[in-house]
Amino acid sequence: MIFASDNWSGAHPAVTQSLERHGAGHAAAYGASDVDRLVEARFNEIFEREVAIYFVGTGTAANSLSFAAVNRPGGVVMCHREAHVAQDECGAPEFFTHGARMVPVEGAAGRMDPGHLVAELARFRPGFVHAGQPMAVSLSQATEAGTLYSVAEIAAIGEIAHDRGLALHMDGARFANALSATNASPAEMTWRAGVDILSFGATKNGCWCAEAVVFFDPVKAEQFPYIRKRGAQLFSKTRFMAAQFDAYLADGLWLRLAAHANAAADALRAGIARSAHAREAWETRSNEIFAVIETATAERLRAQGATFYDWNPPHDMPGLVGPGEGLYRLVTSWSTESAEVEGFVALLA
- Residues between 266 and 285 that touch its own copies (CB under 8 A): none
CB atoms within 10 A of CB 219: 8
User: With respect to its own copies, which residue has the nearer C-beta, 102 or 267?
Assistant: 102
Residues 53, 213: Cα–Cα separation, whole Å: 6
Q: Is 114 in the site for its own copies (CB under 8 A)?
A: no
- Judged by CB under 8 A, the stretch of 12-20, 147-155, 250-258, 271-279 that binds its own copies is 12-20
Residues 285, 181: Cα–Cα separation, whole Å: 7
User: With respect to its own copies, which residue has the nearer C-beta, 77 or 259?
Assistant: 77
Q: Is 101 in the site for its own copies (CB under 8 A)?
A: yes
- Judged by CB under 8 A, the stretch of 26-34, 142-150, 156-164, 292-300 that binds its own copies is 26-34
| Beta bridge partner(s), residue 78 | 103, 137
Among 46, 99, 162, 256, indicate the residue that binds its own copies (CB under 8 A).
Answer: 99
Residues 228, 30: Cα–Cα separation, whole Å: 11
Among 42, 44, 46, 87, indicate the residue that binds its own copies (CB under 8 A).
Answer: 87
Residues 302, 305: Cα–Cα separation, whole Å: 5
Residues 77, 200, 280: CA angle, nearest 5 degrees: 80
Site track for its own copies across 306-335, x = CB under 8 A: -x----x----------------------x
Among 126, 130, 319, 322, indicate the residue that binds its own copies (CB under 8 A).
Answer: 130
Q: Kindly provide the residue ranges of all beta strands, DSSP E only, lying in the chain, ordered along the sequence.
A: 52-56, 75-80, 101-105, 133-140, 167-172, 197-201, 211-215, 278-280, 288-294, 309-310, 325-331
Q: Is 16 in the site for its own copies (CB under 8 A)?
A: yes
Among 39, 51, 76, 170, indicate the residue that binds its own copies (CB under 8 A).
Answer: 76
Rounded to an integer, what is the distance from CA 339 to the centroid of its chain?
Answer: 27
Site track for its own copies across 176-215, x = CB under 8 A: ---------------------------xx---xx------
- Judged by CB under 8 A, the stretch of 27-35, 162-170, 175-183, 277-285 that binds its own copies is 27-35
Site for its own copies in 218-257 (CB under 8 A): 223, 225-237, 239-240
Q: Which residues contact 125 (CB under 8 A, 6 or more apart)?
A: 131
Q: Which residues contact 153 (CB under 8 A, 6 or more apart)?
A: 111, 114
H-run or E-run covering 274:
helix 253-274
User: With respect to its own copies, which residue has the nearer C-beta, 103 or 139?
Assistant: 103
Among 13, 115, 252, 305, indicate the residue that binds its own copies (CB under 8 A).
Answer: 13
User: With respect to its own copies, which residue has the nearer C-beta, 130 or 152?
Assistant: 130
Residues 96, 335: Cα–Cα separation, whole Å: 33
